Each structure stands twice: as structure tokens, then as C-alpha cells.
Amino acid sequence: MDSTKLRLIKLVRERNLKQKEKSDPYVIKLLSPVFTGMQGRYTRLKIILALAEDPLNTLQLSKQLGYDYKSIQRNLKILEENHLIDRAGGGYGSMFFLSELLDINLPTLLQVIEKVDKRLNTKKVYIS
């Protein structure tokens, strides 16, 4: 995850996006379930990073990321249902790209990812 998070930090810096003083709670509420659930969050983040570079179709994403086609398809559906990516065209050759909503809120996505990482990397102490 560290290299993926670093790529997100680099993307935010390259696009010269600044974290707002106070993040939009609606956007945090939208991003949190998509990227904090254990199932597929890293895959979805990798898809976002790939699409930030170039629009791609499902097969291209599958080959570039090294995941099976169905896994990419399932994660694209989740991202699309949450308005984080847009689709151009229809059927097999549909091209996917970042939605305007996500594009302008990449710093908020970084904030959500950092919060998840912090929670996962915190050692739990149990009293016996």
C-alpha cells in the first residue's frame, strides 16, 4: 500500500491540488465506504491512479494492474455507482476516466486513505 499511497500523494502534488481547510463532509461520507472496507480498497485505489494517467477500458486495466477481468469489472462498477469514475461509450470497449467530483477531491481521498492507514497500523493493546 505504501507505494500506492505515495503515487496518490505525487498525483495530488502534480495537479497542484490543495487540501481545503475543512473537507466537505459529503465527499468524505462518499469516499469512506468505498476505500475503508477491507474488500477491494487497494484495487479501487490502484484503478483510480491508473485512470488518473489515461482513460482505459476494463481489459486494459486488467492487464496493466495484473488483476483478473471480473475483479476489475466489479470494482469499476462500485466506483461508477459512487460517481467516482465516468464511462465513455458502451459495452466491451467502454473507456473509464475520473469523474470531475473525484478529480477535484483527490486531496480528500488522500485524507481518507491516510486515516485508514493510521487505523490499520495502530497496535492494539489487550489487557489480560
Inter-axis angle of helices 41-53 and 2-14, to 10 degrees? 30
Tens-digit pLDDT profile for residues 85-118: 999 988 888 999 999 999 999 999 988 888 877 7
Give the orientation angle of helix 41-53 with respect to helix 69-81, to 10 degrees. Answer: 80
Find where cell 482513460 sits: 55
DSSP calls for 21-64: SS--HHHHHHHHHHHHSTTTHHHHHHHHHHHHHS-B-HHHHHHH
| Mean of the per-residue pLDDT values of the chain | 86
Residue 14 has pLDDT above 60, yes or no: yes
Can you give the pTM of this predicted structure?
A: 0.82
Q: What is the pLDDT of residue 19?
A: 63
Query: Up-side HSE of residue 106: CA atoms within 13 Å toward CB?
Result: 25
> Please, what are the domains in the chain?
2-121 (1.10.10.10)
> What confidence score (pLDDT) does residue 52 get?
93
